[in-house]
Amino acid sequence: MPLSRAQAAKIAHIMDAGFTEYRSQFEHISSGAKQRFEQALWQQVQAIGMRRIDLYGEMVTEVTKRLDLFRSAENLGQEKAREWVAVKLEFEKLTPQRTDPELAETFYNSIFCRTFRHRALREHRMFLFSSTEQAPKVLAQDMYRQYDASQGVVSMVNEILEDYKFSVPYANKRLDVINLVRIIKHNTDFRMAIGAQTRVQILKSIFYRNKGAYLVGQLVNPSHSQPFIIPLLNDETQGIYTDTLITDPDDVSIIFSFTRSYFMVETPVPAAFVGFLQQILPAKPLAEIYTNIGFYKHGKSVFMRDYLHHMDDSDDQFIIAPGIKGMVMSVFTLPSLDIVFKIIKDKFAPPKAMSKAVVKEKYRLVKVHDRVGRMADTQEFKHFAFAKHRFSQELIDELFAVAPSMIHIVDEYVVIEQLYVERRMIPLNIYIDTASDEQLYDVIDEYGNAIKQLAAANIFPGDMLFKNFGVTRHGRVVFYDYDEICYLTECNFRKIPEAMYPEQELASEPWYSVGPYDVFPEEFHVFLAGRPRIAKIFRQIHSDIFDADYWQSLQRDIVDGQVKDVFPYRRNKRFLSSKASV
């Protein structure tokens, strides 16, 4: 028996109620970030971040169960996908009343995909493209505070800090004002942007991530706008202080990087909020902005829509991604799109011995863990359909050779059962082959910093070969091969015992016992083998990485509950250079 209109409306209301419950819990978690920052509850910050990520999937599961109970009560079997045309129409009646209609549509899509196992995806049954024409109306004064620069820079900065107060006082507000004014007056672009008609706009909602709070705003005058961010820290003894003033658009973009954990920030009207962020981050994809503020599922929806538009506007073919082929993953890309698609192979090349389930769990770990700007975020897709004519024959042959269980040809489509999508970067091993002397020094320093900052976040990359790292457009080095990562505290870092006689050192097998979790930092030299120039640079600036004592010290700090400072901007930009940093 087909669904009646009343039954379709009930299904829509069950989904809407579930989404409302999800949004309430999401905002409750986000609003608690201020108190966690004030009280320096850094361990809670990390745990609650994972909890918020899990919340979405849990609510999709809960709503799916509620729909099953409704069907049982109504003596309904599983409805056909085509019957959801009526459900969608009923759901569309509910979204205009919301301040977050675009997120509600994505939640609907998640329920649809869970119900019909990612099949029968058609626009008249689900929201492949958003039906919301524009963001809900929101008054400017409800979203951001505005300051008149003509009152004088000192007075304006003072007023800003007065407006953004915490239960913990500023440690030295006078010094904060002096530092901020000094940067403003010495920054030519920033200083020139301030005039009689200049307005300073700062979002009312404060952004929180890890141990930092961030005021995000822009200078606006008749000719142009200039983004800026004021990072705030809590030293846990004397109070809150401003750590720097970020004015370079590239530096602002890095703070919102796809390699970082999601911000905690209150967003009652997400589309309007994102619209403001788009003004200060014009090069940042809309999908990444939504993802950055915690709406990673909607970011995935926006990515998919952008991808479909790009496919309509381009004609190049997917190819095997440049670089050394992986033992666990096969990677392909579209030259005109800065994205890579990664699939897990059916069988792994030796010596890789883990299962597919373990690899998936590693990607899951990266999703929920603090990425500290050194691991790329990924989006998982299932039953992803590509137009077959856009695949090179070489790529089709490669995919069927390494993952035949994951690939299906259905009519004119190549359907991949599961894949991960990630921003494309230049593989580090390729980058260093063409780098200038200055670029080489900087990128090797970045490589070492990436390893150290991952370690500070309790992540050990396992395989540190250059091919497992990429270089972003901002020159940052990012780790993106996750099959061997583990928690740093799981490793047993050891020094290699001295040989008792010379023949032991010449033997093909080690003269000492090696446990499954043993790591010998002295052996990390192998990652630099054959590159003496690079090895010299690395040993010059990161020699501690070869010392087991260094790693053991980090482990002790983590076990003791210490959360290291890892800043999303260069150390030399900080006001207080004496503060501890990684």
Transcribe 228-245 into DSSP letters.
EEEEEEE-SSS-EEE---
Q: Are residues 159 and 301 in the same domain?
A: yes
Domain end (from 380, 399, 424): 424
Q: Are residues 569 and 463 in the same domain?
A: yes
Q: Are residues 438 and 502 in the same domain?
A: yes
Tokens standing for residue 520: 């010998």
Domain end (from 242, 276, 310): 310
Tell me which residue of 70, 67, 80, 88 sits closest to 9, measured CA to CA: 88
Q: Are residues 207 and 269 in the same domain?
A: yes
Does a structural domain hold residue 578? no
Tell me which residue of 237, 155, 150, 156 sits closest to 194, measured CA to CA: 150
- Yes or no: say if 15 and 63 are a contact pair by the CB < 8 Å rule: yes
Q: Are residues 388 and 444 in the same domain?
A: no
DSSP string of 105-154, one letter each residue: HHHHHHHHHHHHTT-S--TTTS-SS----SPPP--HHHHEEEEEGGG-HH
Q: Are residues 175 and 270 in the same domain?
A: yes
Q: Are residues 441 and 565 in the same domain?
A: yes
- Yes or no: say if 33 and 208 are a contact pair by the CB < 8 Å rule: yes
Does a structural domain hold residue 552? yes
Q: Are residues 420 and 453 in the same domain?
A: no
Does a structural domain hold residue 280? yes
Q: What is the pLDDT of residue 503?
A: 64
In terms of phi and psi (left: phi > 0; alpha: psi -120 to 50; beta: otherwise), the region of 363 is: alpha
Q: How far apart are CA 466 and CA 483, in angstroms?
A: 15
In terms of phi and psi (left: phi > 0; alpha: psi -120 to 50; beta: otherwise), the region of 373 is: left
CB contact set of 139 (below 8 Å; sequence gap of 6+): none
Tokens standing for residue 420: 């991960």
Burial class of residue 41, CB neighbours in 10 A (0-12, 13-18, 19+)? middle
The active-site residue, picked from 100, 243, 251, 377, is 377
Q: What is the pLDDT of residue 223?
A: 80
DSSP string of 243-261, one letter each residue: ---B--HHHHHHHT-TTSP
The set of long-range contacts for 55-58, using a CB threshold of 8 Å and a minimum separation of 24, is 55/22, 55/25, 55/26, 55/29, 56/22, 56/110, 56/296, 56/297
Q: How far apart are CA 279 and CA 273, in angstroms?
A: 10
Q: Are residues 438 and 366 in the same domain?
A: no
Does a structural domain hold residue 127? no
Does a structural domain hold residue 121? no
- Each residue's pLDDT, cut to its tens digit, for the chain (582 residues) gives 678 999 999 999 999 999 999 999 999 999 999 999 999 999 999 899 999 999 999 999 999 999 999 988 888 877 788 889 999 999 999 998 899 999 999 999 999 999 987 776 778 889 988 776 566 777 777 899 999 888 889 999 999 999 999 999 999 999 999 999 999 888 767 766 676 678 999 999 999 999 999 999 999 988 888 999 999 999 999 999 999 999 999 999 999 999 999 999 999 999 999 999 999 999 999 999 999 999 999 999 999 999 999 999 999 999 999 989 999 999 999 999 999 999 999 999 888 888 999 999 999 999 999 898 999 999 999 999 999 999 989 999 999 999 999 999 999 999 999 999 999 999 999 999 999 999 999 999 999 999 999 999 999 998 899 999 999 999 999 999 999 999 999 999 999 888 777 766 667 677 778 888 999 999 998 888 788 999 999 999 999 999 999 999 999 999 999 998 889 998 889 996 434 433
- Yes or no: say if 96 and 127 are a contact pair by the CB < 8 Å rule: no
* Local structure of 331: helix, strand or coil: strand
Whose tokens are 């983004």? That residue is: 227
* Local structure of 429: helix, strand or coil: helix
Q: How far apart are CA 393 and CA 459, in angstroms?
A: 38
- Yes or no: say if 22 and 51 are a contact pair by the CB < 8 Å rule: no
Q: Are residues 289 and 156 in the same domain?
A: yes
Tokens standing for residue 302: 């926006």
Tokens standing for residue 423: 């921003």
Q: How far apart are CA 525 and CA 329, in angstroms?
A: 25
Q: What is the pLDDT of residue 440?
A: 97
DSSP string of 352-415, one letter each residue: ----HHHHHHHHHHHHHS--TTTB---EEEEEEEEEGGGB-HHHHHHHHHH-GGGEEEETTEEE
Does a structural domain hold residue 124? no
Q: How far apart are CA 444 and CA 161, in angstroms?
A: 39
| Active-site residue flag, 377 | yes
For 293, phi and psi rounded to 5 degrees?
-100, 20
Tokens standing for residue 542: 């990161």
Domain end (from 310, 339, 356): 310
Does a structural domain hold residue 129? no
Does a structural domain hold residue 582? no
Q: 536: part of which helix (H) or strand (E)?
A: helix 532-542
Give all strands (DSSP E) within 492-568, no chain letters. 492-493, 518-519
Q: Are residues 403 and 446 in the same domain?
A: no
Crossing angle for the helix pair 356-368 and 42-73, nearest 10 degrees? Answer: 120
Question: From the DSSP assignment, how many helices (H) and strands (E) are in the chain?
Answer: 20, 19
Q: How many domains does the chain contain in total?
A: 4
3-state secondary structure 548-567: HHHHHHHHHHHHCCCCCCCC
- State the residue range of the domain holding 68: 5-116
Q: Are residues 325 and 178 in the same domain?
A: no
